[in-house]
Amino acid sequence: MRNVSVGRQGLFMAQSCGAEDRATKQEHRETVEKSPIGFGETPKQKERDMRLFAVLLLTILVSGCREAKQEPASTSHDNKTAHQEKPLFDWIAQAKGDDPTLRQKAIFTITELLKNENQQIRGQGEFALRSIGPAAVPALTELRYDKDWHVRDTAARLLGTMGPRAKTAIPALSELVKDKNERVQRQAALALASIGPASVPALTELLNDKDWHVRSEVAHALGKVGPEAKPAIPALAKLLKDNSGAAATCDQVRGAAAWGLGGIGPEAKMATPSLTDLLQDKNGAVRLAAAWALGKIGPEAKTAIPALTELLKDKNREVRDAAVWTLGKIGPEAKTAVPALTELLKDKDEKIRRGASQALDDINKETK
């Protein structure tokens, strides 16, 4: 009866697909069980019966599974999140439209995408907000209260891409500069720098913050503003002597202040004495920053020439390289450094040799 058993198992599979009613199933069962061994006696009969049975079973399975695999009703429109109601470009168009209510709804909907767990959706939100531009500033500034630092960081970054057009965000960005997360602090400071001169008063005030990291980021930001950050020069020069914390953090602040003054350029000439003092700092990064800043000030930093010439002997290759570059930027006034620079033409470091050659050309340019 083994063949009959196989036949019944096949019928059971058909039943699991829900293909037949009870009468039909009973009829098939009786048909299979008519023979004592399930199929014909002779080999030819067995082959014929097995083929017929296979066709029958296949018909049952196909018809039954069609019914069992019917798709469930589609998800209702009410279960969709707001941004799924229509294409992203339609939301962007609505955000740029004339109707204030619809415009506000669209901007809010798009801003919410920045909180989505899906990175691709967050990216779509950023793209849309960049397309919308300044109209999105109020919504982005509200994100400074979000619990997720990633959202706050993205909001600051997007505001930074708008430059001066995000001027109204200065108060909010000033708050974000004091954020507990250092990455958010940096993004907010950079955003203020991208806004330009309008942010200088706020940035200058932040130089007095108790957090050394805030002071450091703000100093760098003022340097990025450039010459128009001139009002911040006294406050930055004061930070060159920062000693309000641990040695390592003070080094960070002093170095950042030097980079900031260098970014402002020749207008920062009043800071030359303090920068010259830093050329003897114990920290190599601080000496490097001070030398670079004096080079950005240029010929007006000529009083630093003796200290810069001495710096050509520094053990730190990068510091020596910065001193070489700065003497060249000071130009003809640095002619007293020519012997020391000429000696560096024999230096083992190719970069030092090339730099010394260029500096000598810059110094001798107007003295020949």
Count of domains forming the chain: 2
Same domain? 251 vs 191: no
| Local confidence band at 337 (pLDDT 50, 70, 90 cut-offs) | very high
DSSP 148: -
For residue 238, CA distances in Å to 231, 242, 247, 251, 254 come to: 13, 7, 17, 14, 9
Structural domain contains residue 116: yes
Please compute the mean of the pLDDT values over residues 116-121 and round it to a whole number.
92
Q: Which of 224, 243, 273 is the last residue of a domain?
A: 224
Over range 150-179, report the average pLDDT: 97
More confident residue, 9 or 264: 264
**Residue 151 maps to a domain:** yes
The answer on pLDDT for 190 being more than 90 is: yes
- Per-residue pLDDT of 208-230, as tens digits, reads 999 999 999 999 999 999 999 99
How many C-beta atoms surround the C-beta of residue 105 within 10 A? 15
Domain that holds residue 116: 86-224
d(CA 214, CA 206): 7
Q: Flag the least confident range among 38-52, 177-191, 198-212, 247-261.
A: 38-52
Predicted structure pTM score:
0.74
List the CATH number of the domain containing 174.
1.25.10.10
What's the CA gap between 154 and 9, in Å, rounded?
61
Q: How far apart are CA 281 and CA 235, in angstroms?
A: 20
In a domain? residue 283: yes
**What local confidence, expressed as pLDDT, does residue 244 receive?**
83
Look at residue 46 in the predicted model and tell me its pLDDT.
58
Measured between alpha carbons, how far is 235 from 215 in angstroms, rounded to an integer?
11
Q: Which of 201, 224, 247 is the last residue of a domain?
A: 224
- Residue 142: pLDDT above 70? yes
Q: Which residues contact 271 (CB under 8 A, 6 or more apart)?
A: 233, 236, 237, 240, 261, 293, 297
**Among 224, 251, 276, residue at a domain's last position:** 224
Domain check: are 291 and 190 in the same one? no
Does residue 192 sit in the same domain as residue 95? Answer: yes
Q: Is residue 336 part of a domain?
A: yes
pLDDT digits (tens, 9 = 90+) for 55-102: 555 555 555 554 444 444 333 333 345 566 789 999 999 999 999 999
